[in-house]
Amino acid sequence: MKPVASYGIVNADTSGPGAFLRAAKWYWDELTDMFSAAGFSSVMIPMVPNTENVSRNGAPICTASIRTRFGSLAGYLEYLNDKDIENVECIGVSGQAMYNSLFETGLPIERFYEGFYEYAMDAAQALKDLKGSTLLVSPTPGKGFLLQEFAGDEEKIRNFEKESAQCLNKIAQDCEKLGVNVAFRNEFWTTMRGTGVDEYIKLLSDKVSFALDPAHLYMAEADYSEYFRKYAKQSKVVCFTDTKYVDTDKAYETISPEFPQSGASQRIYWDLGFGDIDFTSLFETLKTSGFEGPVILEPKYSLDIPKGILRMRTFWNRLEKEYAAKEAR
């Protein structure tokens, strides 16, 4: 298995001292150096759709911002290689990011998946240029946004979800020509959250794999260990995210699922190894299933980035060490 460090460790849209500086290139220069210093040679980048406003951002937040800062994707790869990062293993695209961009682009919801396809294929082409393997797709916006958009009409939401599957199949078909795998995520706020993944998979071609993520399964009250056993063999990529969050107030169907506005707990993500997920057993499941692909380490929205990166390395080292010790026994 290959550990891949995710740029999702940084919440570029958060508040506090230095928040504005996260849009500066130097910040991401340092971040890249820190990943490398912590022994990671591959990264995952979550990307948003290209808009003129975000293209001037110093963060590699979309393909347009990369082209603005580095001239080309090849120029960016050269820059990464110089910092001892070999490739961008995965790029993430998400229905929620697409939905968020509608405020700025004015694209009507009826043309959502037309825009989403373009956004995903642009990212897939970038991924090929950056020597990556897998496009990670979160195919719908949050359930809460869809409830609002469709005034609570569940049938319209189901149809929207079906449309997402058709779009995903088309993306996978065209990605195959690029030599890029497609895997989908089911975050706890998506319409196919938790156990809903079983039905959703029936709508997909065998070109689309399911990217397991224990934290999101846990938050959707699914048995993540069971899902790892069930889907490990088909996986092209796995995401490791940690949490302690119990969704007592149904944040998943609000329009602010990642930032719960009520409840005793309002924090969703924790640095790896600091939440309640039993990664030791998941690591073993993946090993015994013969999974050899990339594992995205995503301590999303860490409160202390340098510390979060070091914790990522410590976390991975410990998993490998514990597994080796068990094997030796």
Partner 1 sequence: MEERNINYTYMTNLWGVINYKQLTNFDEWYMGDFNSAYYYQDWDKILRYFAGAGFKGIELMVFSVPSIRNAFGSMKNFKEFAQERGIERITGMFSHHVGSQDKNNHAAIYAYEQQAIDALAECDGINLIVQPAGQYYGTGPLDEDGLKNVAECMNTVGRMCADKGLAVSIHNEFWCAVNKYDHEKFLEMTDPRYVFYCLDTAQVAIMGKDILHFYDTYHDRVQYFHLKDTTYVNAPDEKRFGPGAEFDEKGGRWFWEPGGGMLDFKGLYELMKKHHHKGWVGIESDGTPEPLATILLTKNYIDTVLDPIYK
Point out which residues bind partner 1 (CB under 8 A): 13-27, 51-53, 55-58, 65, 68-69, 100, 103-106, 244, 254-256, 258-259, 261, 264-267, 270-271, 274, 303-304, 307
Residue number with CB closer to partner 1 (113 or 301) = 301
User: Judged by CB, which is closer to partner 1: 19, or 74?
Assistant: 19
Residue 3 φ then ψ, to 5° = -75, 130
Distance (Å, rounded) from C-alpha 133 to C-alpha 85?
15
Q: How far is the CB of 188 from partner 1 (least distance, A)?
A: 16
Task: Give the whole-angstrom CA distance, residue 58 versus residue 62.
Answer: 10
Is the CB of 96 or the CB of 134 nearer to partner 1?
A: 96
Closest approach, Cβ 84 to partner 1, in A, equals 21
The nearest distance, CB 258 to partner 1, in angstroms, is 8
Burial of 180-215, coded b for 16+ CB within 10 Å and e otherwise, reads bbbbbbbbbbbbbbbebbeebbeebeeebbbbbbbb
User: How many angstroms separate the CA atoms of 83 and 85, rounded?
Assistant: 6
Nearest to partner 1 of 50, 134 (CB atom): 50
CA pair distance 97, 148, nearest whole angstrom: 16
Q: Which residue number, 265 or 281, has a Cβ lying nearer to partner 1?
A: 265
Spatial CB neighbours of 240, under 8 Å, sequence gap ≥ 6: 213, 214, 272, 279, 282, 295, 296, 297, 298
Short-list 190, 218, 4, CA closest to 91:
4
Q: Which is nearer to partner 1, 26 or 206 (CB)?
A: 26
State how far the Cα of 195 lies from the Cα of 222, in Å rounded to an integer: 6
